[in-house]
């Protein structure tokens, strides 16, 4: 026998899932942090659609009204940044691929190949030290090395006749190589963790099957590295794309034909008349677009690489 009627409070309680203060508190904390992290992105996003007048007349995180809405900032930012984006792509893609590939080879040599263990360890330590060299400490010697010792400006001069190519573009080459060198240790470390968890018996089976060191890498280790390649590729591409200091030191100014997107972005929307916030925000989103695209393309491997936890 059930009671024929319920009080109003009782029936609400029956609809709601079992709530207690702990759960409610948790929900509030999650919501707070969500708002905390999303608000700057949201504010930037709505600001990018505002006219210069609307930026000053409206609250930053309120979307613009119909009269204050414009797409002009986006097209301006895109026109302005496209040159830098091409330069950045020309620099980031090869240097990411090279550092992923070299990092993986180095990790293979330090984990799955049998040779002097002490020497292996010393080399590993050198790699680790490489990760912790601060960028700022090497800036002066780095530019001295590329510009005065290597003479990178003259190095690629024979290519000067190619369309769209000016001598200044050779600086991009310097930035590319610098990124590869700086990225190898961290890539090596990421791959090393993964390779250490690969079954030794797999490699041993391949050895007994007659496979050489190189063909074990090419036919067994590299195909099995796919999830990790996804992770390292996303990570490294984002790092290199967003990097500013090396570009600034080696390329110099945002007006250079070789300027990368971060360099161009630094000069975008600020001149003697003041700061154009709408343009800057639109520029920031345009500049971040390629990393988003890469993330979507590699998301599956990324998830797999993290989930496999190896």
Give the nearest distance from C-beta 210 to another protein in angstroms: 3
Residue placing its CB nearer to another protein in the complex, 11 or 212: 212
CA-to-CA distance for 267 and 198, rounded, in angstroms?
Answer: 47
Give the nearest distance from C-beta 200 to another protein in angstroms: 9
Q: Which two tokens stand for residue 26?
A: 């948790």
Closest CA to 233 of 287, 177, 186: 186
Q: What are phi and psi of 275, to 5 degrees?
A: -105, 125
Give the nearest distance from C-beta 104 to another protein in angstroms: 15
CA-to-CA distance for 307 and 296, rounded, in angstroms?
Answer: 17
The stretch among 26-34, 55-63, 90-98, 213-221 that binds another protein (CB under 8 A) is: 213-221
Closest CA to 277 of 55, 2, 6: 55
Give the nearest distance from C-beta 310 to another protein in angstroms: 13
Closest CA to 305 of 237, 250, 224: 224
Q: Is 212 in the site for another protein (CB under 8 A)?
A: yes
The stretch among 7-15, 63-71, 123-131, 203-211 that binds another protein (CB under 8 A) is: 203-211
Compose the 224-243 pattern: x for residues touching another protein by CB under 8 A, - for all others: x-------------------
Q: Is 218 in the site for another protein (CB under 8 A)?
A: no
Give the nearest distance from C-beta 197 to another protein in angstroms: 13
Q: Give the other-Cβ count within 10 Å of 10's Cβ.
A: 10
Q: Binder to another protein among 4, 134, 210, 274 (CB under 8 A)? A: 210
Q: Is 209 in the site for another protein (CB under 8 A)?
A: yes
Q: Where are the beta strands (DSSP E) in the chain?
A: 270-271, 274-275
Q: Binder to another protein among 207, 297, 306, 308 (CB under 8 A)? A: 207
Helix (H), strand (E) at residue 179? helix 170-196
Q: Which two tokens stand for residue 161?
A: 């006749």
Residues found near another protein in the complex (CB under 8 A): 199, 201-202, 204-212, 215, 219-220, 223-224
């Amino acid at each position: 026998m059930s009671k024929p009627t319920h009080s109003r409070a009782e029936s609400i309680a029956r609809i709601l899932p079992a709530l207690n203060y702990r759960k409610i508190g948790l929900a509030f904390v999650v919501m707070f942090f969500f708002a905390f992290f999303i608000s700057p992105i949201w504010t930037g996003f709505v600001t990018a659609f505002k006219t210069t007048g609307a930026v000053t007349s409206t609250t930053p995180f309120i979307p613009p009204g119909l009269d204050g809405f414009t797409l002009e900032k986006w097209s301006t930012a895109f026109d302005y940044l496209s040159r830098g984006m091409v330069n950045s792509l020309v620099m980031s893609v090869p240097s990411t691929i090279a550092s992923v590939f070299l990092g993986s080879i180095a990790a293979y040599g330090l984990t799955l190949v049998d040779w002097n263990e002490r020497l292996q360890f010393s080399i590993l330590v050198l790699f680790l030290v490489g990760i912790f060299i601060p960028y700022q400490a090497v800036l002066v010697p780095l530019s001295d090395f590329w510009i005065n010792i290597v003479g990178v400006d003259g190095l690629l001069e024979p290519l000067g006749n190619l369309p769209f190519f000016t001598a200044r573009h050779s600086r991009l080459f310097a930035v590319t190589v610098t990124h590869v060198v700086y990225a190898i240790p961290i890539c090596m470390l990421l791959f090393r963790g993964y390779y250490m968890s690969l079954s030794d018996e797999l490699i041993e089976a391949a050895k007994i099957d007659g496979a050489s060191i190189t063909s074990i890498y090419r036919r067994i280790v590299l195909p099995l590295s796919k999830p990790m390649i996804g992770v390292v590729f996303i990570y490294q591409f984002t790092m290199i794309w967003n990097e500013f200091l090396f570009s600034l030191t080696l390329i110099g100014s945002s007006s250079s034909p070789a300027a990368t997107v971060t360099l161009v972005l630094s000069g975008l929307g600020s001149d003697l008349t003041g700061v154009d916030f709408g343009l800057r925000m639109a520029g920031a989103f345009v500049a971040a677009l390629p990393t988003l695209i890469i993330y979507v393309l590699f998301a599956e491997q990324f998830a797999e690489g993290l989930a496999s936890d190896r």
